[in-house]
């Protein structure tokens, strides 16, 4: 047992080191257990991002307590510790500037909170849902389910688009109808359909108007506000419903088409499509 009392660094013995390691290990195990317990008890009561915060804060607190409990075994003088820590900080700072930049960026991201866990975002060229914001990096799960780790420095310096930062967002459809159809009737049909959908917001109201007299169709613009977390479902659902509702009332969405008029070399009056010779486009009356 004499080996345990052998000093290895100054007055610190192997026993002190062992005590330190054991206490830290125990505190890490307790922190993990606490994390699991918190997740089990609060998973259906607390939002996912808040849960992650609660778990992290608890775990860090437990580990810090473990460190403070174990420090006396090192016979640490806190004044010396601060001096050594400060000096070491400067040296480490110079030695690992990128690391420090990432940590700094992470801290600013946590303070500024342009994104939070669960948000749908675009950071640089990466789009997806924020899975975690750590001190060094932010992880995103892309729409394809791929894990992407972005260093916080990159996140901090990139253009961030947060699709759900505002509670509501707008999207639009451009619906083409035939020139022979009644645009007012089409607008009314679409308006009634939107009115029936719970997540098409009452305020701001949907905006519907004839936007363009196109080559092949009269274009009706449909602008819809929906809750940010629901807009994609609404968007994918409503487009087909609009198409079906319009067709149900005899209003069709035309294919692009071009009428070709052949000239009548005999010189007789020929302005019908079958006899005229001018290539032209009479917009959308089909299909």
Show the site string, 147-166: x = touches other proteins by CB under 8 A, - = not: -------------------x
Among the residue ranges 65-73, 135-143, 176-184, 222-230, the one whose residues contact other proteins (CB under 8 A): 222-230
Q: Show the tokens assigned to 127.
A: 């789009």
Q: Which of 63, 76, 103, 168 binds other proteins (CB under 8 A)?
A: 168
Q: Which of 6, 203, 236, 266 binds other proteins (CB under 8 A)?
A: 203
Instruction: Give dist(CA 251, CA 281) in Å, integer.
Output: 21
| Length reported for the chain | 287
Q: Show the tokens assigned to 221.
A: 């613009």
279 DSSP 8-state letter: B
Among the residue ranges 5-13, 108-116, 194-202, 278-286, the one whose residues contact other proteins (CB under 8 A): 194-202
Q: Which of residues 252-281 bind other proteins (CB under 8 A)?
A: none
Per rule CB under 8 A, is residue 40 in the interface with other proteins?
no
**How distant, in Å, are the alpha carbons of 179, 209, 253 from that of 216?**
8, 17, 10
b vs e for 69-101, b when ≥16 Cβ sit within 10 Å of the residue's Cβ?
Answer: ebeebbeeeeeeeeeeeeeeeeeeeeeeeeeeb
CB 217: neighbour CB atoms within 10 A?
24
Q: Which of 75, 113, 191, 202 binds other proteins (CB under 8 A)?
A: 202
Per rule CB under 8 A, is residue 28 in the interface with other proteins?
no
Per rule CB under 8 A, is residue 229 in the interface with other proteins?
yes
Show the site string, 81-110: x = touches other proteins by CB under 8 A, - = not: ------------------------------
Say how many Å lie between the first and final Cα of the chain, rounded.
95
Whose Cβ is closer to other proteins: residue 200's or residue 222's?
A: 200
Whose Cβ is closer to other proteins: residue 108's or residue 199's?
A: 199
Nearest-Å Rg of the Cα atoms of the chain is 33
242 DSSP 8-state letter: H
Among the residue ranges 85-93, 106-114, 226-234, 249-257, the one whose residues contact other proteins (CB under 8 A): 226-234
Beta bridge partners of 210: 220
Per rule CB under 8 A, is residue 46 in the interface with other proteins?
yes
Per rule CB under 8 A, is residue 44 in the interface with other proteins?
yes
Instruction: Give dist(CA 148, CA 138) in Å, integer.
Output: 8
Per rule CB under 8 A, is residue 227 in the interface with other proteins?
yes
Per rule CB under 8 A, is residue 204 in the interface with other proteins?
yes
Q: Which of 53, 169, 241, 243 binds other proteins (CB under 8 A)?
A: 169
**Residues 198, 226 contacting (CB under 8 angstroms):** no
In 3D, which of 28, 39, 33 has the Cα closest to residue 62? 28
Whose Cβ is closer to other proteins: residue 182's or residue 230's?
A: 230
Residues of the shown chain interacting with other proteins in the complex, contacts defined by CB under 8 A: 42, 44-46, 166-169, 196, 198-199, 201-204, 225, 227, 229-230
């Amino acid at each position: 047992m004499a080996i345990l009392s052998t000093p290895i660094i100054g007055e610190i013995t192997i026993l002190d080191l062992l005590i330190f390691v054991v206490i830290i290990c125990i505190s890490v195990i307790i922190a993990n257990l606490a994390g699991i317990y918190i997740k089990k008890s609060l998973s259906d009561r607390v939002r996912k991002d808040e849960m992650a915060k609660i778990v992290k804060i608890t775990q860090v607190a437990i580990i810090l307590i473990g460190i403070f409990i174990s420090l006396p075994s090192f016979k640490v003088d806190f004044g010396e510790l601060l001096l050594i820590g400060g000096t070491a900080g400067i040296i480490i700072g110079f030695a690992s500037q990128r690391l420090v930049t990432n940590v700094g960026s992470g801290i600013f991201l946590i303070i500024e909170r342009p994104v939070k866990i669960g948000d749908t975002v675009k950071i640089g060229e990466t789009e997806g849902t924020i899975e975690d914001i750590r001190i060094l990096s932010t992880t995103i799960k892309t729409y394809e389910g791929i894990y992407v780790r972005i260093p916080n420095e990159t996140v901090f310096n990139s253009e961030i688009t947060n699709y759900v930062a505002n509670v509501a967002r707008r999207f639009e459809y451009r619906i083409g109808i035939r020139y022979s159809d009644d645009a007012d009737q089409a607008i009314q049909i679409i308006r009634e359909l939107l009115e029936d959908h719970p997540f098409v917001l009452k305020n701001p109201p949907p905006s519907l108007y004839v936007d363009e007299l196109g080559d092949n169709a009269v274009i009706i613009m449909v602008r819809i506000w929906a809750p940010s977390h629901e807009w994609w479902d609404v968007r994918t659902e409503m487009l087909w419903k609009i198409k079906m509702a319009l067709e149900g009332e005899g209003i069709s969405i035309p294919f692009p088409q071009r009428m070709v008029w052949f000239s009548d070399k005999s010189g007789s009056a020929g302005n019908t499509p079958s006899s005229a010779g001018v290539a032209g486009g009479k917009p959308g009356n089909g299909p």
